[in-house]
Structure 1
Amino acid sequence: MKVRKSSLPLHPYVLLFIAILSVSVSSIMIKSSDTPTAIAGMYRLYISAFIMLPFVPWKTIRYLSMNAKDWGAVFLAGLLLGLYFLFWMESLVYTSVASSMVILALQPLFVMIGSFFVFRERAGILSVLCLVTALLGSVIIAWGDIGVSREALIGDGLSLIGTILVSAYMLVGQKLSRKIDANLYSVVVFFLGGSVLLAYSVLNGFSLTNYESLDWTYFLLLAIVPTIFGQYIFNRLLKSIGATTVSVGIIGEPVLAIMLAYLFLGETISVFQLVGGLITLLGMLIYFWRQSLQYSAVKRLSH
């Protein structure tokens, strides 16, 4: 396990937990609003980029060792982020929070496969077993939607596409993490992602301004909680612990989302979701127990 130097204010796994908790709230907020998901995603990303502008070290831009290919990768990351929000947020219109979120548990599997081809990173047997365990939990939970309705399966399909897109976004972010400041990177990709959703909203004739004060508060909260305290922290962590470990941490998001949906939206927890959630959580805990031991060992050797 490679531990890269960083200027993180807290231990990376503490920050990872904060980010997971923050993004878990987003599905509850999206389900609780009637605004078009593309509009909510657009303002979520635009407002986040605006809030973060003062924290970007603009003076360092001239010293970046970024070529045209690297900036093209940044553009690709923004495109992937915007499409991810479009597909995943729309999935919540068709299916339950539990089923949509739990499909995100497939993300580390896609990222691990991508990391092997892009970075030549090889996963240990225990790590693979943890991911297989998480995958099994995801299958069990999603299985509960089969035969329920055609809409639920459409929602699961949209969530799966979103998961593939965000996995690619994580891999591109890790590739760029050594070349560009995380604050600058986040502002650029948030703005580009918001622009993707803006184009979609205009093409579909959605109103861009005709919303009540409660909706604007909702957009602001989406920007602050799951985006700045969630997605931005994920971007910061890509340099120190890598895309695979960050994505494995996101496995905990569905479990927290299921609990929050039960508490605040009154969604029931089926046997499939309960058993699958426990299996997913078990795989995640074993993985992080192993990773934390390796992280501590490497840090001691580095000193």
Structure 2
Amino acid sequence: MNNTSLKIPVFIPLIIGIIAISFSSIFVKWSDAPVSVQGMYRLLFTLIMMLPFVWKQARYLKQINWRETFLLILSGAFLALHFLFWMGSLKLTTVASSTILLSLQPVFVMIGAYIAFREKTSKAAIIGMMVAILGAIMIGWGDIGISAKHIQGDLLSILGTIVVAAHMLIGQKLLKTFPATLYSFTVFLVAVIVFGIYNLTLNIPMTGYPEKEWGIFLLLAIIPTVFGHVLFNWLLKYVTAATISMAILGEPVGATLLAYLFLGESLTLSQWSGGAIVLAGLYYFLQNTRKQNKRTTPAPIKPPLTSGPIVKKG
């Protein structure tokens, strides 16, 4: 990483990215279209914008084997499920509850990395994980007092977090030998196909929506996807992955503030307390994970097909 080659202070694009991804929940709430349609067009419009940057890399697809092809399809399917579950949760619970629970993603990634790769973590990081989970329980407990619908939304958000963790773990493995931009394009394409099949199977209309909805689909692609996740991917050329990971702590804060301003959503004392505990636990967890990574010497890996930043999803 070479911070000096960046012409502007790192915190400027980082803040832009945090604000951009915070708007994702607001756009989903504003839309009356089914979440499967929102997710499909969000990624489809992103694919169209990415096309000029990836078509020259298409030749690398001829070099992948059947196992890698299967993993790419699986990663794309998990990404589609993530959008279905998480965007669906926003229709049932508050933006704050959904995004705070989604921010538990590093915890599930750590658990999955231990199961799949036997990657170990420090006791301090485990303590942070447990604190964050305690906060998540407090959020759910607070939602019990509101309605059963809110609890269903919390569960959907947790399911969305689990599947996106699986998606990230597959990406971690594939990106050792796969161009990052082409990887993103491929899994987005698979996710769009999965959404299309889902909508056709359930007879969910994919056309005939008013102009307002098409505007929201486009906003979802441009703001939280391009100016959020794609911007974070670009920043990985200049800062560490741990720095980008810390940005997830900013999303629930930004999304909650925007939900208060644009949607009039408010939180109970239990939810505020649980949210604060989740963020504190995650901060402690990520800080100790970063310290452990600094002490660990990475094993040699096969050279990638071409250079590119490692992709982070959410």
Which TM-score tier does this pair reach, normalised by the shorter chain? 0.7 to 0.9
SS of residue in 2 equivalent to 1:266: coil
Match for 1:170: what amino acid?
M
Match for 2:169: what amino acid?
L
Distance 1:234 1:98 in 2: 22
Distance 1:241 1:25 in 2: 24
Distance 2:277 2:151 in 1: 22
CA separation of 1:207 and 1:135: change in aligned 2, threshold 3 A: same
Match of 2:198 in 1: 200
Question: Does structure 2 conserve the Cα–Cα contact (< 8 Å) formed by 1:18 and 1:229?
Answer: yes
CA separation of 1:12 and 1:190: change in aligned 2, threshold 3 A: farther
Instruction: After superposing the two structures, state which structure 1 stretch, 211-220 or 147-156, moved more.
Output: 147-156
Distance 1:59 1:269 in 2: 47
Instruction: After superposing the two structures, state which structure 1 stretch, 69-78 or 200-209, moved more.
Output: 200-209
Match of 2:34 in 1: 36
CA separation of 1:238 and 1:164: change in aligned 2, threshold 3 A: farther
Match of 2:77 in 1: 79
CA separation of 1:156 and 1:295: change in aligned 2, threshold 3 A: closer
Distance 2:117 2:11 in 1: 22
Q: Which has the higher helix share?
A: 1
CA distances 1:223-273 after superposition (whole Å, capped 9, x unpaired): 11222233445667899966x886664344223222221121100121122
Distance 1:63 1:74 in 2: 11
Match of 1:26 in 2: 24
Gaps of 5+ in 2: 297-314
Match of 2:215 in 1: 217
CA separation of 1:57 and 1:203: change in aligned 2, threshold 3 A: closer
Question: Does structure 1 conserve the Cα–Cα contact (< 8 Å) formed by 2:259 and 2:265?
Answer: yes
Per the normalisation by structure 2, the TM-score is 0.80
Match of 2:126 in 1: 128
| 1:99 maps to 2:97 | yes
User: Post-superposition shift, 1:193?
Assistant: 0.8
Distance 1:16 1:233 in 2: 8
Identity of aligned residues (%): 42
Match of 1:169 in 2: 167
Alignment match of 2:224 (pick from 220, 223, 226): 226
User: Post-superposition shift, 1:71?
Assistant: 1.5
CA separation of 1:220 and 1:14: change in aligned 2, threshold 3 A: same
Match for 1:123: what amino acid?
T
Instruction: After superposing the two structures, state which structure 1 stretch, 185-194 or 131-140, moved more.
Output: 131-140
SS of residue in 2 equivalent to 1:143: helix
User: Post-superposition shift, 1:166?
Assistant: 0.7
Distance 1:35 1:98 in 2: 21
Match of 1:301 in 2: none
Gaps of 5+ in 1: 299-303
User: Post-superposition shift, 1:290?
Assistant: 5.1
Distance 1:286 1:11 in 2: 25
User: Post-superposition shift, 1:55?
Assistant: 1.0
CA distances 1:197-231 after superposition (whole Å, capped 9, x unpaired): 12222222222221222221111110112222334
Query: What's the RMSD between the two structures over aligned residues?
Result: 3.3
